[in-house]
Amino acid sequence: MFFKRLFSTVILLAIFSCIIFGSPMVSKIAFLIFGALLSFFVPYETCNMMEKSGRPVFITLTSTLISVVFLAAYCFFYFENQISLSALFLAVMLLFALPWVLLLFIIGKEGGLERIFNSFALCAIFIPAFILIENIYFEYGPKVFLFFVIGTKIGDIGAYVVGSLSNKLQKGGNHKMIPSISPGKSWEGATGGMLVSIIFSVSLFEFAFPELTYGVWLPVVMGIVLFIFGAAGDLAESCIKRVCGVKDSGHTLPGIGGVFDLVDSLLLNSVIFSIFLYFI
């Protein structure tokens, strides 16, 4: 198990390092690999969880469609001066609509209409999030993308470390937040995670946004917001897993678990961070 986890961790760090520190071409190729895997396996794992819980969905079709839309958007961002936005929009809409039209022919089969509805709902949730993540990378650069990813995940890490330590040191253990959904999350961990997120944001805000003039309040607010909505995304995925009766979203990453488990907080924060970037 240790070596499997180590192998997966090294591969993930290598891809992420290439995105942030590689040459422009290497960075874009690494991001393409990262995004293609993300946009396929997150919906794939979600579809599998739904199927196991008796909620029918088109697993392969939905996952492939979301991944293809991600790749279409990638082409637009990469070749922004060569591809017409209207042509891309038309192509994506046709790609998005045709499978559902074809599936109308199987509505008469058992669970056909429910499968279409569930698959469409997943597309409506995941496609905007993945395109927003692409936009953060292409429009604002690797430094801002690094700030977004680490600023989101470091709160998770801080909450886990502080929560684990306080649980051992306190008599009777931690004060649980929502034990019915996520038994491991505590108020002590949340407080520690938020502080870690604020410290990170204050420390690296100038690195990511050197052109901005701001007071200390802006990175502090950014750290708080990233932590709160990252935790909300994590809790949302925990709720989905609880409803579906599974512990992990999948076993895509050897020794680590599911891809969805790894990036759940990034999906909701892609919306929040994009709103922040728009207004600054």
> pLDDT per residue over 156-183, tens digit each?
888 888 888 877 777 766 777 776 667 6
The pLDDT assigned to 243 comes to: 84
Least confident of 25-29, 42-46, 105-109, 175-179: 105-109
Q: Which residues contact 170 (CB under 8 A, 6 or more apart)?
A: 188
Residue 106: pLDDT above 60?
no
Average pLDDT across the chain, whole number: 83
Q: Provide the residue range defining the domain that includes 8.
A: 2-279
Selection from 270, 258, 206, 201 nearest residue 233 by Cα: 270
Stated pTM of the model: 0.85
What proportion of the chain, given as a percentage, has pLDDT over 70?
A: 84
Q: What is the pLDDT of residues 44-99, one digit of tens each?
A: 999 999 988 888 888 888 898 899 889 888 888 887 655 555 555 556 665 666 66
Express each pLDDT in 202-225 by its tens digit. 999 988 898 877 778 899 999 999
Q: Which has the minimum average pLDDT: 42-46, 146-150, 244-248?
A: 244-248
Q: What angle do CA 57, 61, 66 make, to 5 degrees?
A: 100
What distances in angstroms separate CA 193 from CA 50, 61, 111, 114, 226, one per listed residue?
30, 38, 43, 39, 11
Alpha helices for 22-111 (secondary structure H): 24-52, 59-78, 85-103
Q: 28-32, 119-123, 182-186, 263-267: lowest mean pLDDT where?
A: 182-186
In this prediction, residue 75 carries a pLDDT of 83
What is the number of domains present in the chain? 1
Q: What is the pLDDT of residue 107?
A: 54
Q: How far is CA 51 from its chain centroid? A: 21
